[in-house]
A and B are shown apart, each in its own frame.
Chain A
Amino acid sequence: MHEYSIVMALIEQCEALAKQHQAIAVERVDIKVGILSGVEPSLLAQAFNTFKLDGICAKASLDMHIQPLVLQCNHCNTRSEQMHRVVLCPDCNSADTRVVDGEDMMLMQLEMDT
């Protein structure tokens, strides 16, 4: 259940940003969760709703964008998106690809009450 420690890090970040911008509350937290980031979105949501309660995020909603894999093929130059956890180019089957997105967990946006 590393989702709990990930949420702790997320809430810590939100609190620091809220403080930095003199906010009284955080109303919405937008995050991006890659399909190959290694977290389970439902567990993350559950952890967020548990841990947010005693801080500035207490009333915040968590908006999760599930990010598919974005592959850039070095062989046929195609950029493709896919929900399968496969890094081969879906167009030409080449293994010479670069994963451009879909492996990270990012805090994207905060809506604050200031």
Chain B
Amino acid sequence: MCQDCGCSITHDHHDHSLKTNPQLNDKKTLSVIHKILSKNDLEAQHNRNHFNQHQVTAFNIMSSPGSGKTTLLEHLCQYSNLRYAVIEGDLETSRDADRLIAKGILAYQIQTGSACHLDAFMVHGALHHIKLDELDICFVENVGNLVCPASYDVGTHKNIVLLSVPEGDDKIEKYPVMFRKADVVVITKTDLLPYFDFNLEHAKAELYKLNPHVDLIELSVKDAATFNPLVNWLATAHDNNLTANIQEA
């Protein structure tokens, strides 16, 4: 039951079989097989139900600090017709939300929580402050971190992972879980390729071993044309999500 909105979601029930351990009379061994983050996963599904009710497709944007998440979101509105809002996970300051609001983009700052990742409960709190009816898509800008956010489903539909050219092409091997979770990897700051030894082919090869079917997009905010592939990818993801939604209903 959702305290903020009163909506209820069905909890799946697990069968716990209590077996008495034959060797030890007073000890009992309980077989469980329970996802450790099941509570978060349930809340994440609840968030997705919220988005679905409003035909909104949600994207979790993850990367290292400074890879260009906020910058991308600041610029995207010039190129995409999709109406969007941003749930901002920069927990220490309201800088990123302020930057977006200054550009006329709807942004809501998550206030509570630990600083290394967002979870589904934090995102849920923010959801009730956003008018989903007026949106096509919604972004969650996660905390800048390539490790912790990868373990948490926050209730979005797709994961966007950014890797900026100055970080180096070895980050895919170093942070495999994050790159495995990606639905699209955006190589950002490609205007800097001439100045760094970033090998795009090597990045692609490493990504193929971990996540063979992932989409890969190159982007530079200095070059308007590079926004086309991302804009198209978002539009397709949104269309596909709406279709899946209709089929489920």
Contact = CB atoms under 8 A, between A and B. Distances in A.
A91 interface: no
Nearest to A40: B147
A56 to B, nearest CB: 13
Interface size class of B (residues with CB under 8 A): 35 or more
A42 interface: no
Interface string A4-28: 1110011011000100110100010
B212 A88 contact: yes
Nearest to A111: B29
Interface string A27-38: 100010000111
A110 B117 contact: no
B181 to A, nearest CB: 8
- Which secondary structure characterizes the binding site on chain A? mixed
B8 interface: no
Interface string B182-226: 000000000000000000000000001111110000000000000
A87 B27 contact: no
A10 B35 CA distance: 9
Interface of A: 1-2, 4-6, 9-10, 12-13, 17, 20-21, 23, 27, 31, 36-39, 85-88, 95, 103-114
Given A87-B209, A106-B33, 20 more contacts: A2-B148, A5-B114, A9-B37, A13-B36, A17-B32, A20-B16, A27-B27, A36-B177, A36-B180, A38-B147, A38-B151, A39-B151, A85-B180, A85-B210, A95-B212, A103-B180, A105-B37, A106-B35, A107-B33, A110-B29
Interface of B: 16, 18, 21, 26-40, 114, 116-117, 119, 147-148, 150-152, 176-178, 180, 208-213
